[in-house]
Structure 1
Amino acid sequence: MSEPSEKSSGFASPPCLAHEIDPAYAGTAVVDPQQALDVARWRKAERARLLAQRAALSVETRKAAASSVARHLDAWLAERFDDFGGLTVSAWWPIKGELDLRDWLAGLARRGARAALPVVTIRSAPLVFRAWTPETKMERGVWNIPVPAHGPDIVPDIVMSPLVGWDRGGYRLGYGGGYFDRTLAALTPRPLTIGIGLDAARIATIFPQPHDIAMQVIVTETGMARLEGAG
């Protein structure tokens, strides 16, 4: 995934005050190139900090967090959907200390839903999605992440994404490649988007840029996050 090549030592304060200018951060104006570079450098440093923080957690702590997230997801989805039948839900194959929801995802089939995983078929292009079960034949994809080896592209009703960081606006800090935002922008109709991460990964703001797409829901081990603007 592409990131700025400049070395960054981090920032003790926000990279700039451009986020206070409504037109740019609403996506209705072109962002100043220097401001965009400042934000990219800040995100790189913040991403490294949050990844190190997550990597320091014990396996037991991450397992407990994943179990809590699964319970909160079940409760929320049960309130929103009378029946899971026919729903296609995409999650992820965990890397870099991400919460592992594969058991929960596999259990969807028993409730009439279909599980899916994202696949990179072309670098820097939108992701595609393929059906997945524990019996699915897998192969090593980009960055050696296991992906379904075969199967038609499908369009999920619900797309869940792991979060490196997140803010109260529902914006996510990912790995910097832009795949998730690019994919959501290309999907019609746009699926329900759920960000999954640790409560400790919440930051004041990611300094959202016009290309950033906010999650509709964020779930952590402590429950459903109260997002700004949510009803």
Structure 2
Amino acid sequence: MDDDDKPASLASPACFLHEVDPAYAGLPDPDAPRDWPQVNRWRKAERDRLIAARLAVPAETRAAFGASIAEQVLAEIGAAAGLVVSGYWPFRGEPDLRPLLQNLAGSGARTALPVVIAKGQPLEFHAWRPGDPLERGVWNIPIPAAHAPVIPDIVLAPVVGYDPACYRLGYGGGFFDRTLAALPRRPRVIGVGYSGARCATIHPQPHDIAMDVIVTENGVVRPYASTTRVLT
């Protein structure tokens, strides 16, 4: 099972609402997937498409996008001294924010990386500063060699895809949603990705948790206020 649950049903529309563009009304497209098996297949296909698309972008272009994203993330965080900020190690063409972590550590923040403990379990966040020893974790992604769990104030979450409500399409393991639900206090979650990863909707499920904002090379996406969940 991926990070989604059985979708809820949709109530009858208000008078004339059926005549409004579904995307404008916050409703799914009539041809959109309506049940979990369809959503699951759609998410897998969309995930594969988006990852292939970002890997096809030249490395120097992705580097420029990453620099723009880092600058905007820094502005979103503001004064970082004393905060615990969890970043990530870039994987499969994700924006490389390691220079940002170094910048934050130099300004007095405590930085960390996420660590997969076991399948189906929440992530842990372990303290790490650029230059500290690393070891290989799941999928050979580097993780801190020292076991020093922390509770982050801010989590930088890479997205495979995202929608206007700031719901995140990830890799399908459900780690981030599970982790956010389990933390003793809710950190501010800043999704990061490329503008080309935008979807009309990711067909969010009952336990999907929206990011507070999504930062792309083209600007900051803030969730619209009217409808925060598109039911499928």
Please list every run of 5 or more consecutive structure 2 residues that lacks an aligned counterpart in the other structure: 13-33, 227-232
Is the 1:130–1:153 Cα contact (8 Å) retained in structure 2? Answer: yes
Letter in 2 for 1:215: M
Give the CA deviation at 1:103: 0.7
Give the CA deviation at 1:92: 0.5
Is the 2:2–2:174 Cα contact (8 Å) retained in structure 1? Answer: no
Letter in 2 for 1:201: A
User: Stretches of 4+ moved more than 3 A in 1?
Assistant: none
Q: Which residue of 2 aligns with 1:132?
A: 128
Q: Which residue of 1 aligns with 2:143?
A: 147
Higher relative contact order (CA 8 A, sep 6+): 2
Q: Which residue of 2 aligns with 1:189?
A: 185
Cα distance in 2 for residues equivalent to 1:71 and 1:126 = 29
Give the CA deviation at 1:121: 1.6
Letter in 2 for 1:169: A
SS in 2 for 1:147: strand
SS in 1 for 2:35: helix
In the alignment, structure 1 residue 21 sits paired with structure 2 residue 10 = yes
Q: Which residue of 1 aligns with 2:19?
A: none
Cα distance in 2 for residues equivalent to 1:37 and 1:109 = 44
Give the CA deviation at 1:177: 0.5
Give the CA deviation at 1:3: 5.4
CA, structure 1 residues 182+3, in 2 after alignment: closer, same or farther (shift >3 Å)? closer
SS in 2 for 1:194: strand
Q: Which residue of 2 aligns with 1:215?
A: 211
- In the TM superposition, 1:102-121 aligns within 5 A as 102-121=98-117
In the alignment, structure 1 residue 52 sits paired with structure 2 residue 52 = yes
Deviates more, 1:164-173 or 1:106-115: 106-115
Please list every run of 5 or more consecutive structure 1 residues that lacks an aligned counterpart in the other structure: 5-17, 24-33
In the alignment, structure 1 residue 166 sits paired with structure 2 residue 155 = no
TM, length-normalised to structure 2? 0.82
Cα distance in 2 for residues equivalent to 1:117 and 1:70 = 16
Is the 1:119–1:129 Cα contact (8 Å) retained in structure 2? Answer: yes
Is the 2:80–2:108 Cα contact (8 Å) retained in structure 1? Answer: yes
Give the CA deviation at 1:35: 1.1
TM, length-normalised to structure 1? 0.83
Letter in 1 for 2:204: P
Give the CA deviation at 1:211: 1.3
